[in-house]
Amino acid sequence: MAAISPRLAALTAAAMALPGVHVRAADAPGENPWAVDATHLEYSESGHRMSVRVNQASANVPLGENIQLKGNFIQDLMSGASPIFNAPGPGGKTQQVLTGASVFDNRKAGDIGISASFGDGQATLRQGWSKENDYKSRWNSIEGRWDLNQKSTTLAAGVAFSDDGVSSHDAPDDFQTRLKRDLFVGVTQVLNERSLVAVSLAHSYTNGFLSDPYKLVFVQSGGLLPDARPGHRQQTAVTAKYITYIPAIDSALHLTGSLSSDSWGIHSGALELQWKKELPAEWLVNAGGRYYTQSSADFYAPLYLSQPGDLHSSDYRVAGFGSIGWLAGVTKQVTPNFSVQIAAERTYRRSALRSGGVGIDADNYIWGLYLVTLQARF
């Protein structure tokens, strides 16, 4: 039997950990069980709308050979203006009415989890919370993963439950309940020596107060009404990811597609293509694009000529629209234990790219995000 080079041995050892893919918190225990990640992110929107500064830190700590403790903390500092409703503008063209640049909030969120490995399986239990002036959330999840067929196949499943409270600046202590249950199943399959595919199915059921307390609708025949949406919502989504290595360009292509449908009448699709290439001196670069499209909710209208029914919303997020964006990043492995990642994404929202229903050009805008992450592994 021919001797195996150290590099091939290292790659084989890493490959044995594959796929290990579906559930974020269920990372396979590897040679570096201690992990610390820290991220700073800047998000901004065109037209002096919302901007957000995010700080995130997380750590994985081994508790024995088969158990890992995971902790994660996020702080968001939000400020800027947000659309409230639409109204007729000059020449009868619909225009947005925004809040002043006075919106400010400080969100803090965190979660803690524990993962246990047993044979080819792994289970992760997590509990999290989130709190800001007018929104609070507590959630629990349990996720499992099972490797089959010499790790050529990974099955994954998870359930989660969240109990949220929604209030507004006008009545900050009057929290209304929003409950969400999530179910997720997925399978990842190694197809051949340089390709793999992952397909996932998710379903959620949400009930309670699902309207936005800050949104209004304009009624031409007189006055403004508060946003009013159904008291329950079911969403189903399918996501497929195909990754292949192309020797001719010494690069990997990542193609991800999603379809979703919900009981509000919103049907959406997304397609993302990324190119990733390793360069000498432990650099990894990636670039790509993302296309997204959705139809409007059944109860959406930009504005209402006469008194609407019980359900009505002019929120730009339940309108029909599409978007196209680019994303790019670079990662440098500085030492075997330390890496730095910089990533950016910029997205152009356009009502003309909607897949159905109603949308207006006044809702068009651009958002961008930029992040820096430091990763340490021991």
Partner 1 sequence: MRMSRRHSLACSAVLALFALAGCATVQPWERGTLAKPAMAIEDPVHETTQKLRTYSAKEGGAAATGVGGGGCGCN
Give 135-179 as a 3 state SS string.
Answer: EEEEEEEEEEEEEECCCCEEEEEEEEEEEEEECCCCCCCCCEEEE
Compare residues 166 and 360 and give the one whose CB is closer to partner 1.
166
Contact flag: residue 354 with partner 1 (CB under 8 A)? no
Contact segment (CB under 8 A) with partner 1 among 87-95, 222-230, 256-264, 301-309 equals 256-264
**Contact positions with partner 1 (CB under 8 A) in 22-51:** 22-25, 37, 39, 41, 43, 50
Q: Minimum Å distance from CB 307 to partner 1? A: 25
Q: Nearest 5°: CA angle at 120, between 151 and 73?
A: 100
**Contact positions with partner 1 (CB under 8 A) in 151-170:** 151-153, 155, 158-160, 162, 164, 166
- The number of beta carbons lying within 10 Å of the beta carbon of residue 111 is 19
CA distance 198 to 20: 11
Contact flag: residue 229 with partner 1 (CB under 8 A)? no
Backbone φ and ψ for 363, nearest 5 degrees, come out as -85, -5
Compare residues 4 and 221 and give the one whose CB is closer to partner 1.
4
Asked whether 251 and 339 are in contact (CB, 8 A), the reply is: no
Contact flag: residue 218 with partner 1 (CB under 8 A)? no
Among the listed residues 85, 86, 115, 184, the single contact to partner 1 using CB under 8 A: 184
Contact flag: residue 178 with partner 1 (CB under 8 A)? yes
**Contact positions with partner 1 (CB under 8 A) in 309-348:** 317-318, 323, 329, 331, 341, 343, 345
- Collect all residues with Cβ–Cβ distance below 8 Å to 261 and sequence separation of at least 6: 235, 236, 237, 267, 268
Contact segment (CB under 8 A) with partner 1 among 87-95, 115-123, 217-225, 236-244 equals 236-244
Compare residues 24 and 350 and give the one whose CB is closer to partner 1.
24
Contact flag: residue 240 with partner 1 (CB under 8 A)? yes
CA distance 207 to 165: 12
Contact segment (CB under 8 A) with partner 1 among 89-97, 147-155, 216-224, 301-309 equals 147-155
CA distance 257 to 323: 15
Among the listed residues 122, 228, 262, 353, the single contact to partner 1 using CB under 8 A: 262
Compare residues 91 and 100 and give the one whose CB is closer to partner 1.
100
Compare residues 88 and 121 and give the one whose CB is closer to partner 1.
121
Query: Is residue 362 classed as helix, strand or coil in its secondary structure?
Result: helix
Q: What are the start-end ranges of the E strands in the chain?
A: 35-45, 51-62, 67-80, 83-88, 94-98, 103-118, 121-132, 135-148, 153-166, 176-192, 195-208, 216-218, 224-226, 232-246, 251-262, 267-279, 283-294, 321-335, 338-350, 366-377
- Collect all residues with Cβ–Cβ distance below 8 Å to 50 and sequence separation of at least 6: 43, 44, 78, 79, 80, 81, 82, 103
The site map against partner 1 for 55-84 (x = CB under 8 A) is: -x-x---------------x-x-x---x--
Contact flag: residue 269 with partner 1 (CB under 8 A)? yes
Q: Minimum Å distance from CB 14 to partner 1? A: 4
The site map against partner 1 for 357-376 (x = CB under 8 A) is: ----------x-x-x-x-x-
Contact flag: residue 302 with partner 1 (CB under 8 A)? no
